[in-house]
Amino acid sequence: MQVDFYHLTHMPLERALPRIAERVLAAGERLLVVSRDEAQRAAIDKVLWDYAPESFLPHARLGAGNDRAQPVLIAPDVNAANGARHIALVDGEWRDDALDFQRAFHFFDDEAIRDARLAWMALADRDGVERRYWKQNDAGRWEQAA
């Protein structure tokens, strides 16, 4: 299982998450997006509809329709009602339930860096967990730092 830590420094989540979602869907997979914050879930719902005019990311919020049919499902907790094997934790909070997925994307900013470091260290000794840390360079591109 792979856990990718994404430290948001130059690019906001609203630009980073859709790119990850596109890659997941292009690989024929489904994605669960998790945030406890209702306002953040609403903002993600909106941005996935209109972040780029030439793209389309089919998605819904948990309970808003046929959850099983959704390629991208936005939820307040780890509930992969869409059968996702990929999870994006977007509120800066690590959840050990993410280890039940094939791949986890953990997004955090400077305010949540302490908790992200604790999660990074806690996962160091977990069997079968491969960790990657991504940071943004001055040009805003992602670079693998660990």
CATH 3.30.70.100 for domain 2-144 = no
Structural domain boundaries of the chain? 2-144
Residue 58 has a CB neighbour count (10 Å cut-off) of: 12
15-52 tens-digit pLDDT: 889 999 999 999 999 999 999 999 999 999 999 988 87
- The H or E element that residue 88 is part of is strand 86-89
pLDDT score at 50 = 84
Q: Per residue in 56-72, pLDDT tens?
A: 788 989 988 899 999 99
pTM for the full predicted model: 0.92
Residue 78 sits at the vertex; the CA angle it makes with 102 and 37, to the nearest 5 degrees, is 130
Give residue 27's pLDDT. Answer: 96
Antiparallel, parallel or unpaired: β 130-136 and 142-144: antiparallel
Give CA 38 to chain center in angstroms: 16
